[in-house]
Every structure is written in structure tokens, then in C-alpha cells.
Structure 1
Amino acid sequence: MACKPTLPPLDRPTGWRPMDELVPVDESTPVDASYDWLIVGGGITGLSAAMRLGEVAPQDRALLVDARPVGWGASGRNSGFLLDLPHKFDLDHPDTARLDRIMKLNRGAIDRLHEQVDRFAIECDWSPVGKLQGAVKKRGTGMMARFCEALDKIGQTYEVLDRQGCTEIMGTGYYAGAVFTPGSVLVDPLLLVRGLARNLPGNVTLRDDAAVVEFAARDGGFTAKLRLSGGDTRVVSARRVILATDPYTREFGYMKNRILPTITYASITRPMTREERSRYKGRMNWGLTPADAGGTTLRMTADGRLLIRNHYGHAPRYRADGAVLARVAEAHKQGLDKRFPRLSDMPITSTWGGVVSLSRNHATYFGEMAPGVFSANCYNGVGMTRGASSGRLLVDLAVGHRSQALDDIIAVSGKPSTLPPDPFLSVGVSGRMKLVEWESRSEM
């Protein structure tokens, strides 16, 4: 098998930090011809795999590559929630033992990331403040009630807030109610992953300016042709490969017709001024996910920025169109103004799209796709904690290191079902997403 992967697009990157900060962490360390491991993808999955290799195989040499600077992809574009509870489709599953496994994986990932943040003094606004799941109108409050029933089923504590309780926290009376759960952590995701990238173990070489332009299985191992930022090319070989590439995994010849690349859109404001803070009557540093999966995610960051995320689309080319971004930015501004009319003069400074991978049957894949090739895919929109667990445990799977966590992630993973071919796929997905958006319009 040989392939020439499509590269991640040079679209508008995350707005968590100014664009001029999003430069390669390492574009100078020499690239050798041979390694024990090749890790493709410098997001949370690839970084977690690299960290684990330093623990269980420090004698092995690994090369971690990404075509774009660390933080360019989904791990730097998300809303910064490290979720401890099963989320969305997972929480609807009737098997409580399965849900318990997911919670253990998520909480273990949070604990490990916290230890790394402390050990390396990574400044990423680590905030163990829990999260809200909110509802605007009757559709959302009905789903909020089902969320409480699911939490009761798995024995988790929570607090139900009415409109006044929401107003006291968020400074807006827009929400009819919310459920507060205490275990999630809020972060600046860009600073988190770039902090990890700067502190990789000594047996791992990072080059986040190295695009894989050719990939092949050869002679019991694998070869990859890399194109570096200066235009030079290198051919490297490795015995084992971890594809921490999520939606791009299909570009390497695996998971074809099983991964649905989906784009979600976010906008962020500048920090509030002192005068604007005097007008704002809520707390700082909170996060809300919608009870209705088609609704709006909202953050008030530690430094006083508002982040809003909604609107979805099919992304077969992994990028956001400029015209779509302009329309989304306008819709996001209207959404913020409805929620925070006292802050209507606070401008949005950036709007961007982030590509995640979904599966038709909501299954997440984890395992060895072919001899020597390991991957985890289709996180279904909850990739930070699942990605942190997956990267670490893919290494354990590859080296034969058994653990309860490895048993758990195998038990809760599956095989994404096949997707229909185009044009049926594009038409069907676009129609389905428009229907979901229309049904959820009261929660936007």
C-alpha cells in the first residue's frame, strides 16, 4: 500500500491566541533516516502517545511530525472543555458498566494532564470549575431533564439551576435552566498542547513543519516522505506507526468510507475592558455546553473573553470557506448580543472552523488497523479527554502493556459503520445537518 495524503489546509487557524504565535515549536532538529516509531499528528492524541513512549519505551527513538504547527488542528481549535462524564451519544447508552468505563478513562486522562501541567509549569488557565449544560426553551429543558435522569442512573452528583441561578453565574437571563456538574476542567487548549509539545521526552523528536507527502508499507515496516517547511524532503522509515490523524486517517489508506469529517464554527472576543467588567454581572471563568446537541456552546474565559460555538457542516476538504465564516461571524455576534446586551459593543476578534470526525453509528475506533499501524478515530466531538487516553493506550497496546484502562478503552470502542458514496453522502449529510439546525433553532 502506498498513498499521497492530502495536507491539512492553510485555512484560518484558531483564535485562542494571535496568529503570529502559531509558529512551529521545532523546525530545526535534524531528521534521521530511521526510527522505531513514527507518530503522525501533533494534536492531543499524538502528544499523549509521545509522552507515553518516554515512560514505557525510553530506549526507542520516535519521530513526531505534523504538517502544521502544534495547535493548528482540532486540539487547538476546540472550546477548551476536558469532560469527565460520558457526553452526548455516549450518555444515551443503556449499559451503566460501559458508562463507568468511559468516566474512568476521562478522569484518568484529566488526572494525567493535570500532573503534566503541574510538572512542566504549563500556563494554560487550568480551571477545575466544572461545567454547565444549559437550555434556552422547552426543547432544551426537556433534554436537560433527560440528562439528569442519565446522571441519576450512573450515580453522579449535580445541581439543577433555574433562570436566576443561571443569571448569577453567567450574567445573562437568556437561559431557562442548567445542570451543573463539578468534574470537568476548562483550559486554553492551544496553550495546553503547545506546552506539552515543548516538554516531550528525550527519545522523541518533534518536527511540526513536516508534511507527510508519501506513505507506504515496505519490508516489514513503513516509509514516509516528509516535506519540510524550507522545501527540503526527507525519507524516514519506522517499524511502527501511530496515526494520530483522526479525520485525515482516510488519507493514509485506512478507515476509508467510515469517517465523516464535520466542521463546527467558533468565535471569540477580545478580553473585557475594566469598564465592560463593571457592566457584566456574572462570574468569570465558566463554560456551558447545550442540552440540545444542536445548540450553542459558550465560554467566559479566565481573562474575560466570550467564546461561542455553533453551526455545523460537512467538510470533505477539511476547511472552512471564507464566505461561510463571514456569515457565521455575523450569526455569532447576534447570538452574543442576545445573551449579553450590555456587552454589545465588545467585538469578535476571530471566527474559525474546526474539523472533527464523526461516525455514522456513533462508534469510536481504537486499535491496530493493520500490522504495525495503530490509530484512534471518530471521537464524535469529545476529543480532548478521549484523545489523551487514546494516545497513551495505543502505545500500551503496541508494546503489550496490559492494564484496566486498556481493557476499558477496548470495551467502549467499536467499528464505525460504512458511509454511502457520494453524491448520496454529501446530499444526505447536508440535509441532515440543516434539519438538526432547524430543530435546534430555539437553542441557538
Structure 2
Amino acid sequence: MSKQINLPHDDSSCGWYAALSQQPACKRLHGEQRADYVVIGAGFAGLAAARRLGELMPDKRIILVDAQRVAQGASGRNSGFVIDLPHKFALEHPDPAHKQRLLSLNRAAIAQLQGLIERHGIDCQWSHAGKYQGAVGQRGLAYLAHFEQLLKNLGETFRLVERDELAQVLGNTYYSRAIFTPGCYLMQPAALVTGLAHSLPENVELLEESPITRLQRKGQGGWLLQGSQGTIRTAQLLLGTSIFTQEFGYLRNRLLPVMTFASWTRPLNDTELAAYGGQLDWGLTPADHAGTTVRMTQDRRLIIRNTYKHVPKYGKSTSDAMRESVRDDHRRAFLARFPQLADVPFSHTWGGVYAISRNFTNFFGELEPGVFASACDNGVGAAWGTISGTLLAEMAVGGDSAQLRDIQTVTGMPSLNPPEPFLGLGVRSRIRLAAWNSRSEL
């Protein structure tokens, strides 16, 4: 197989990445390289896969390669939730055992991340803060009641929080009610993934700013990865490439590239913090999934995330004008919640692209002999990427475990998409309809 790769094209305005201290110079792909295993994509899945390979195969050479710097892609652009509970669509699965497997896998990922953070001293605002799921009006309250029933059916711990109590946390009375679930962790995603990258095993070599532009099968059981300044030969290839998996010829017409956007403020000063009146270090997701996610970070920044776009050309589907329009939408959502902070500006607005599937199914497994992939996290990237990458490495070396069997049970093949232009028309129409129906929750 030989195919030209369409590369990531992310904006340079991600607040999380801008808040990092200056990163050390990176190592790039040069010349002819050979490795026993190559992992493409240094997000949560790729980092976990490379780490586990390094642990399991200490005498083998493993190369982890990414087109950008670590944390410049999707893993450094999310809102910083590491969620244990599956999203609504997975919670509605009819098989209770399926949901328990998902919970167990997500919680194993959280425990794994916490262990790595403690062992390597990764400073990433890691916090067992839990998560609020909030409702504004009647539409949101109906979704919240449904979520409450799903949690009861699952036997999960939760707490209803009414407006007045919620206002003491959030610094506003915008929300009518929320459900608090204790299992979620919060973090600074760019700081976390760079910390994970800097603490990889010694036999894992990280190559950044080294896009793979062509992938070719060379004889039986071998691959040649072509970059602009070098090549890598390997017998075993693991893809932690999310939506870009389709660029390598796999899962074609099965993944939907969607971008969601966030804006955040500069850190609030003492006067602004007093006017805000709420707490630090919390996160709220909307009961209506098309609503607004809000966070207050440990370092006093407020984050607003909403607005979804279908991006068939990934970052090239966006523009400065689009981000300005999104920023205006975020400003309206911010002022509706925090009118007392009208003079506090946004410092950054950014987008991040991720993969969803029409049947909300995650892919995990062997695509063809010697090629393994975890793709399509359906919006739960930090936890799912961590555990799926770890288990993908175990599969690649012929391992077996209860967790590996569990992830194989709960994953499958994303369904086929309609052809263009019908796909684009349908996705854009659905996004617009969801935004319209959810306008009271924005």
C-alpha cells in the first residue's frame, strides 16, 4: 500500500500549550532508521502504547513519531476532563455488563495516569475534583432526569445539587440544577501529555515534527515509513492516530472529523476573583450534550467550550474568521454566566479535531497483519486513549489479560458513512439542528 498523507493543520492559539514553560528542543526524523516497533501519533493512545511496549520489550527499539510537537494536537487541546463514566450514548447500552466493562477500563486508565503523575512528578494540575453535569432550562432538566435514571440503573454514586448550592461553586445562578459524580479527574492536558512524553522508557525514542508522508508495505511483514527528511523500517506498526487513521488507508469512510472549540480568560486577579465569588478547580459539562462546557482552573482561568464544526480537511477547514465567530459565541455564553466579569478578556480561542462514528463504536485491534490501531474515542479521549493504547501494545506482543478481553468485547467496527456530498450535508445539518434545539442550554 502506498498513500499520500493529509497532515494535521492545527491552529497555533491553544491556550493550554501557550501556558506551558518553554519546551526543550525536539528530536526529528533524519536518515534511515530501523525499529522493532513504530507507534505513529504521540497523543494519549500513542504515548500509552509506546510506554507499554517499552516496558514489555526492554531490549527492543521503539520509535514514537508525531507530525507535530507533543500536546499541539488533540490530546493537548481538550477541556481537561479525565472521565470515568461513559458518555450518554454508551450509558444507554442495553447490556449492563457492557457498561461495567467500560467503567472498569476508564477507571483503570485513571489509576494508571495517577500512578505515572506521582512517580514522575508531572505538574499538570491533576485533581480528583469530580464533575458537575448541569442544566439551565426545561430541556436541560429533562436530559438531567434521564441521566439520573441511567446512573441509578448502573448503581453509580451521584448527588443532586440545586441552584443555590451550585452557585457557591460556580459563582453564578445560571444553572437550575446539576448532578455531581465523584469519579472524574481534572488536569492541564498539554502539561500532562508533555510530562508523559518526557518520562518514556529509555528504549522509546520520540521523534517530533516528523510527519510520515507515505506508508508502504515492503515484502512480507515489513513497512517503510517515509518522512520528508528520513525513513523508518519496521515489522510492527501501531497507529494512535485517531481521525488521521483514515489517511493511512484504514477505516476509510467510517470516521467523522469533528472540531470543537474553547476559549479561556487570562488568570483572574484578586479583585476579579472576589467579584467572581465561586470556587477554583471545578468542571461542568452540559446535560444536553450540545450545550456548553465550563471550567474554572486551579490557576484562575475560566473556560467556555461549545460550538461544533464538521471539518473534512481537519484544521484546513477552519479560518481566522471562523474562530472570531466562535469567540463571539463563547463571549455571549461567558457573559450570560459571569456578567460581573464583563471586563475580563479571553486570551485564547482554539479548536481541536477528534473522531466520532455514526454508531458510536470505538475501533480497537489488528487492521492487517502487523498493523494495530485504536481509533475513534467518541469524545472520551484522555481515559480511553490511555487504556486502549496500553492494551494495544499488549495485543501487539501477543499478550492476554482480562482487560484485553474486555476491550475487545466493547469495541467493534464503526459503521460506514454515506458518500459525499450527502455526508457533509447531513453532518452540518445535524450540528445546526442540535445547536438550535439546545440554544437555551448554551
Shorter chain as denominator, the TM-score bin is over 0.9
Contact 1:366 1:390 in 2 (8 A): yes
Residues 210, 364 of structure 1: CA spacing in aligned structure 2 closer, same or farther, 3 A cutoff?
same
Task: Note the aligned Cα RMSD (angstroms).
Answer: 1.4
Aligned to 2:272: 276
Contact 1:24 1:209 in 2 (8 A): no
Aligned to 1:109: 109
Aligned to 2:197: 197
Residues 10, 155 of structure 1: CA spacing in aligned structure 2 closer, same or farther, 3 A cutoff?
closer
Residues 113, 32 of structure 1: CA spacing in aligned structure 2 closer, same or farther, 3 A cutoff?
farther
1:435 pairs, out of 413, 433, 437, with: 433
Q: What is the Cα deviation at residue 17 of structure 1?
A: 3.6
Aligned to 2:181: 181
1:262 aligns with 2:263: no
Q: What is the Cα deviation at residue 313 of structure 1?
A: 1.1
1:334 aligns with 2:329: no
C-alpha distance in 1, partners of 2:255/2:263? Answer: 26
C-alpha distance in 2, partners of 1:95/1:23? Answer: 46
Residues 87, 22 of structure 1: CA spacing in aligned structure 2 closer, same or farther, 3 A cutoff?
farther
Per mean C-alpha deviation after superposition, the further-off stretch among 53-62 and 63-72 is 53-62
Contact 2:132 2:283 in 1 (8 A): yes
% identical aligned pairs? 44
Aligned to 2:342: 344
Contact 1:24 1:68 in 2 (8 A): no
Alignment-mate amino acid for residue 415 of structure 1 = M
Residues 10, 160 of structure 1: CA spacing in aligned structure 2 closer, same or farther, 3 A cutoff?
closer
Please state whether the residue corresponding to 2:16 is helix, strand or coil: coil
Aligned to 1:162: 162
C-alpha distance in 1, partners of 2:418/2:305? Answer: 28
Contact 1:5 1:251 in 2 (8 A): yes
Aligned to 2:357: 359
Aligned to 1:230: none
Task: State how 1:53-202 maps to structure 2 within 5 Å.
Answer: 53-202=53-202
Contact 1:36 1:62 in 2 (8 A): yes
Aligned to 2:409: 411
Alignment-mate amino acid for residue 339 of structure 2 = P
C-alpha distance in 2, partners of 1:133/1:11? Answer: 29
C-alpha distance in 2, partners of 1:283/1:118? Answer: 25
CA deviation profile, 1:129-165 (whole Å, cap 9, x unmatched):
1000001101111111111111111111110011112
Please state whether the residue corresponding to 2:325 is helix, strand or coil: helix
1:237 aligns with 2:233: yes
Contact 2:143 2:288 in 1 (8 A): yes
C-alpha distance in 1, partners of 2:12/2:305? Answer: 16
C-alpha distance in 1, partners of 2:150/2:36? Answer: 44
Unaligned segments of structure 1, at least 5 residues: 228-232
Aligned to 1:4: 4
Q: TM-score, normalised by structure 1?
A: 0.96
Number of aligned residues: 439
Alignment-mate amino acid for residue 235 of structure 1 = T
CA deviation profile, 1:16-44 (whole Å, cap 9, x unmatched):
14278575762268765210111110101
C-alpha distance in 2, partners of 1:164/1:429? Answer: 38
Contact 1:297 1:309 in 2 (8 A): yes
Aligned to 1:316: 312
Alignment-mate amino acid for residue 114 of structure 2 = H
C-alpha distance in 1, partners of 2:350/2:31? Answer: 32
Contact 1:16 1:188 in 2 (8 A): yes
1:305 aligns with 2:301: yes
Unaligned segments of structure 2, at least 5 residues: none
Please state whether the residue corresponding to 2:71 is helix, strand or coil: coil
Alignment-mate amino acid for residue 311 of structure 2 = A
Contact 1:134 1:177 in 2 (8 A): yes
Aligned to 1:50: 50
C-alpha distance in 2, partners of 1:367/1:114? Answer: 26
Q: What is the Cα deviation at residue 369 of structure 1?
A: 0.7
Contact 1:298 1:306 in 2 (8 A): yes
